[in-house]
Amino acid sequence: MTPSEIVEILKGAFPQAVGEPSADGSHPGVAVAAEAWHEAAVFLRDDPRLRMNMLRCLSGLDLHPEPHLELVYDLISMRPGGAAGLWENAGEIAIRVRVPRDGGRVRSVADVWPAAEWHERETFDLLGVTFDQHPDLRRILCPDDWVGHPLRKDYEFPTEYEGIPAAAASADVKK
């Protein structure tokens, strides 16, 4: 199934929430409104035509200076039935969900694809998006007491952590 067919089916079910497919052919995707995302996710997984059973990756993009963060969910539908017992790729799509940079929230899809649990924790940690109804929303890569979200474009590097001078600060000391 081609990405545009997937978008058609999704648009049929959520005419208001689904945007235009992105023209860029190197990573075909479609925008979905944040409010409708969880409902759309359940639809993407359960609709017999789509059956997007694997969440491959969740990438957070900072669109700074635009006041938005974009979440890119890469989904794929894997089905048995190929030659020699091989499974087949029955369609893939990237879903783009935009949230505001300040206080951005979106409903967690960890109950739809358990794989999302750690991906969402990572996006929360590094970009500062809050996932509502996430089972265990904590920082995952940075320490619990870390300040700020390092993958934001306007992130300021700390000068010290727990009394340890950071690279920029120790360069000053040498002078």
User: Alpha-carbon distance 116 to 73, whole Å?
Assistant: 9
| E strand or H helix at 118 | helix 116-127
Residue nearer to another protein on the CB measure, 86 or 164: 86
* Shortest Å distance, C-beta 16 to another protein: 26
The pair of three-digit structure tokens given for residue 171, joined into one six-digit string: 């360069």
User: Alpha-carbon distance 29 to 95, whole Å?
Assistant: 6
Helix (H) and strand (E) counts in the chain = 4, 9
User: Alpha-carbon distance 67 to 100, whole Å?
Assistant: 6
* Shortest Å distance, C-beta 15 to another protein: 26
Q: Do residues 75 and 92 lie in contact, with contact meaning Cβ atoms separated by under 8 Å?
A: yes
Residue nearer to another protein on the CB measure, 32 or 55: 55
* Shortest Å distance, C-beta 33 to another protein: 20
* Shortest Å distance, C-beta 78 to another protein: 6
Nearest to 51 by CA among 91, 11, 17, 13: 91
Kindly report the number of other CB atoms within 10 A of residue 129's CB atom: 24
* Shortest Å distance, C-beta 112 to another protein: 9
Residue nearer to another protein on the CB measure, 24 or 102: 24
Residue nearer to another protein on the CB measure, 16 or 24: 24
Contact positions vs another protein (CB under 8 A): 24, 26-27, 53-57, 59-62, 72, 74, 78, 80, 82, 84-89, 94, 113-115, 117-118, 126, 139-143, 150-151
